[in-house]
């Protein structure tokens, strides 16, 4: 049985829409009082341009391009501040079109032994069928998708991989995906929506506020469930 | 014979097959970012400093499964044309905070040295409690937010640092969320709905 507390874990909120990356720099967050001034001052800015912004603080990573926004933390006690930061940001920038949102949790667990590590891969993807087709078949990545149990459009994906951080570790990622508009059938076409998602963040804000707790519990339950396989 | 598999690295050549780039929200999908045109980019940092951080060789970065082109967010494979400032790699820190207890607090009363708050356990249904905290527990910027009805989070747990040392920690952090009244929420929705109607009519 793996240790139930992950050695490395993270939470990320990913949004897809139309963004102006140059806005999202530490100074803006400080001026709007969304980050403490001292945190913004000591932030490590990788890049701020009209195409991409990326910076990190002691607990937070922000990365924004013209069509994606991501806020990520690796500290378990900063999940709620992370949610608040995204809520506050897009309450201020409420005319930002946001089409989809992902509430993502990832964790690297120590499996305790090589047997336990192999067992979970063999259980989820039995290798007998592959014997003779591949030499020494092994599970590299497995994604299971389920429908949403709530009123939102979207899906829930669980991804399992050998950890690339912990030897004999298991990586689990939960992608809790909310869809507020229909993606185009071919690249370059516009998104389709009869809601206000194409011109505002209102639906995203409502979902982030309303579904956060359940999403958090579900992710924890999914991870614990996988570890009991 | 059991084999130890090496982690997927940047040499992967497999096509990515899952969520299309326009709808994916898994945070690692950021690996699909393309390098921006740096020749026309302004790179700024705190107090105007310039910085581009490259990934150190051997660093695991943030990705579990790198995309086929092997790039990660702002971890440039080619030398950028702007001056790079040496810095630590952007990667998992291995530092972690193990939460033993977490509460949401509402400030009831502020005195000269302390403040009194009602605490609600975030992850259990235990009854609310009243507690008194010293103002000296707050950082300078959080002290500015201290007032009756202000909301804060209180976390108690173990702080494991990068060298593996563990210390018991108590962290207070005030909520930085501008309050939105139901009326403001309704107004924003009404505006968006009206604008959407105009757009769809076209």
* Chain centroid offset of residue A191 CA: 22
How many Å apart are CA A67 and CA A100, to the nearest integer?
11
How many Å apart are CA A115 and CA A134, to the nearest integer?
21
Q: Using CB atoms, which residue from B8, B99, B199 is nearest to A77?
A: B99
The pLDDT, as a whole number, for residue B67 is 38
pLDDT tens string for chain A (229 positions)? 555 788 888 999 999 988 999 999 999 999 999 999 999 999 999 999 999 999 999 899 999 999 999 999 988 889 999 999 999 999 999 889 898 999 999 999 998 899 989 999 899 999 898 989 999 898 999 999 999 999 999 999 999 999 988 888 999 999 999 998 876 666 666 666 655 566 678 889 999 999 999 999 999 999 999 998 8
Is some CB atom of chain B closer than 8 A to the CB atom of A20? no
Residue B69 has pLDDT above 90, yes or no: no
Q: Are B189 and A9 a contacting pair at CB < 8 A?
A: no
| B34 contact partners, CB below 8 Å, separation of at least 6 | B71
Window A:191-220, CB contacts with B under 8 Å = 191, 194-196, 198-200, 202
Residue B88 has pLDDT above 90, yes or no: no
Band of the pLDDT at B146, cuts 50, 70, 90? very high
Other C-beta atoms closer than 10 Å to the C-beta of B172 total 18
| B194 contact partners, CB below 8 Å, separation of at least 6 | none
Q: Using CB atoms, which residue from A43, A47, A118 is nearest to B74?
A: A47
Q: Are B92 and A49 a contacting pair at CB < 8 A?
A: no
Q: Which residues of A touch B139 (CB under 8 A)?
A: 36, 38
Q: Are B7 and A163 a contacting pair at CB < 8 A?
A: yes
Residue B183 has pLDDT above 80, yes or no: no
Residue B21 has pLDDT above 70, yes or no: no
Domain segments of chain A as ranges: 8-19+67-227
Q: Which residues of A touch B60 (CB under 8 A)?
A: 164-165
Q: Give the number of C-alpha atoms closer than 13 A to the C-alpha of residue A59, restricted to the C-beta side.
A: 20
B96-174: CATH architecture: Beta Barrel (2.40)
pTM for the whole structure:
0.76
Higher-scoring residue by pLDDT: B202, B45:
B202
The pLDDT, as a whole number, for residue B82 is 35
The three-state secondary structure class of A88 is: helix
Is some CB atom of chain B closer than 8 A to the CB atom of A102? yes
Is some CB atom of chain B closer than 8 A to the CB atom of A48? yes
- ipTM of the prediction greater than 0.90, yes or no: no
Q: Which residues of B touch A9 (CB under 8 A)?
A: 96
Q: Which residues of A touch B21 (CB under 8 A)?
A: 187
Query: Which pair of tokens denotes residue A99?
Result: 């089409």
Domain segments of chain B as ranges: 24-91, 96-174
């Amino acid at each position: 049985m793996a240790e139930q507390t992950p050695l490395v874990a993270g939470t990320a909120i990913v949004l897809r829409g139309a963004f102006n990356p140059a806005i999202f720099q530490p100074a803006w967050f400080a001026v709007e009082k969304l980050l403490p001034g001292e945190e913004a001052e000591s932030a490590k800015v990788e890049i701020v341009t009209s195409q991409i912004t990326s910076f990190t603080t002691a607990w937070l990573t922000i990365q924004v391009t013209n069509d994606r926004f991501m806020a990520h933390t690796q500290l378990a006690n900063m999940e709620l501040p992370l949610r608040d930061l995204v809520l506050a940001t897009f309450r201020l920038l409420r005319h930002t079109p946001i089409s989809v949102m992902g509430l993502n949790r990832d964790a690297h667990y120590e499996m305790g032994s090589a047997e336990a590590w192999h067992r979970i891969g063999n259980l989820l993807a039995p290798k007998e069928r592959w014997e003779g087709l591949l030499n020494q078949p092994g599970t590299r990545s497995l994604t299971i998708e389920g429908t949403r149990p709530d009123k939102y459009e979207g899906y829930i994906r669980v991804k399992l991989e050998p950890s690339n951080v912990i030897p004999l570790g298991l990586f689990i990622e939960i992608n809790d995906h909310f869809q507020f508009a229909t993606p185009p059938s071919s690249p370059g076409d516009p998104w389709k929506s009869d809601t206000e998602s194409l011109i505002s963040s209102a639906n995203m804000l409502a979902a982030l506020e309303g579904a956060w707790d359940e999403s958090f519990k579900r992710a924890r339950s999914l991870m614990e469930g996988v570890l009991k396989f | 014979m059991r084999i130890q598999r090496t982690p997927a690295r940047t040499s992967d050549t497999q096509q990515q097959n899952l969520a299309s780039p326009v709808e994916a929200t898994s945070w690692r999908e950021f690996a699909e970012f393309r390098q921006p045109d740096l020749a026309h980019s302004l790179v700024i940092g705190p107090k105007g400093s310039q910085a581009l951080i490259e990934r150190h060789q051997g660093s695991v970065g943030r990705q579990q499964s790198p995309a086929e082109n092997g790039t990660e967010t702002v971890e440039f494979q080619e030398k950028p044309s702007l001056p790079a400032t040496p810095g630590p790699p952007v990667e998992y820190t291995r530092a972690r905070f193990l939460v033993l207890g977490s509460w949401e607090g509402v400030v009831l009363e502020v005195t000269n040295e302390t403040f009194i708050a009602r605490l609600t356990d975030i992850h259990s249904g235990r009854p609310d409690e009243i507690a008194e905290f010293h103002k000296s527990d707050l950082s300078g910027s959080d002290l500015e937010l201290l007032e009756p009805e202000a909301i804060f989070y209180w976390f108690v747990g173990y702080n494991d640092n990068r060298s593996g040392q563990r210390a018991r920690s108590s962290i207070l952090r005030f909520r930085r969320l501008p309050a939105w009244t139901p009326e403001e929420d309704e107004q924003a929705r009404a505006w968006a709905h009206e604008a959407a109607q105009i757009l769809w009519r076209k």
